[in-house]
Amino acid sequence: MNNAVRTALAVVILGLPAVAAAQQYTKNQGYLVDQNYNVVMAIGAGVCIRTSDWTPALAARAEACSQCTPDLCAKPAPAPKAAPKAAPRPEPKKEPPKLVPQKINFSADALFDFDQAVLKPEARAILDDLVRVLQGAQYEVILAIGHTDRIGAAAYNLKLSQRRAAAVKDYLVGKGIAPNRVYADGKGETQPLTRPGDCKGKTGKALISCYQPDRRVDVEVTGTK
């Protein structure tokens, strides 16, 4: 009996719709089945009884494949391998914080006697405090700029401001600051803090006192700490 005749008989005998009957018949096709289309096992042997139309292809598609011919069953597709985790990105290297250039204004009268360029004892104490503040910093440059008031000749005031800036540099270098990191210069009376009319009409000590803000040494530091 061929497959078509068997399928037709199954439909007539069981009264099932054609499609459903065909599906029931083919679920274990190639094996002897009972009325529920389950494979009949040989008594005592535990072996599925094959029919004459049995083929490896039918066995592989059979519902009872794992029971009857596990070596022919289609192997389940391997689970996809998880994508390797991307290596964590290294954190960007943090640059040391940049110090904003800081300017410290020292009154020249606090550092030097009037019309002098030799540091006073109290001036050394002031600069010692500055050195302690600068400990642990890496300097790009330390500027020491001297200034004078407008009393006297401009050429003389320029040289006086330069000598005072040099005195500050020499002291800082003597305290361990690298000479090539300290730059000293003098601007004389060219960059006053007082305005031209502020001290008008004053003479003697009153004029010297009025011009006091102009007599100064500016120290500007730029670096990292």
How high is the pLDDT of residue 187?
Answer: 95
How high is the pLDDT of residue 13?
Answer: 37
pTM: 0.54
User: 58 or 163: whose pLDDT is higher?
Assistant: 163
How high is the pLDDT of residue 3?
Answer: 45
- Domain regions of the chain by residue span: 3-68, 102-224
Residue 109 reports pLDDT greater than 80: yes
Phi/psi at 179 (5° precision): -60, -35
Classify domain 102-224 at the CATH topology level. Answer: 60s Ribosomal Protein L30; Chain: A; (3.30.1330)
Cβ(154)–Cβ(201) under 8 Å?
A: no
Residue 135 reports pLDDT greater than 50: yes
Average pLDDT of the chain, as a whole number: 79
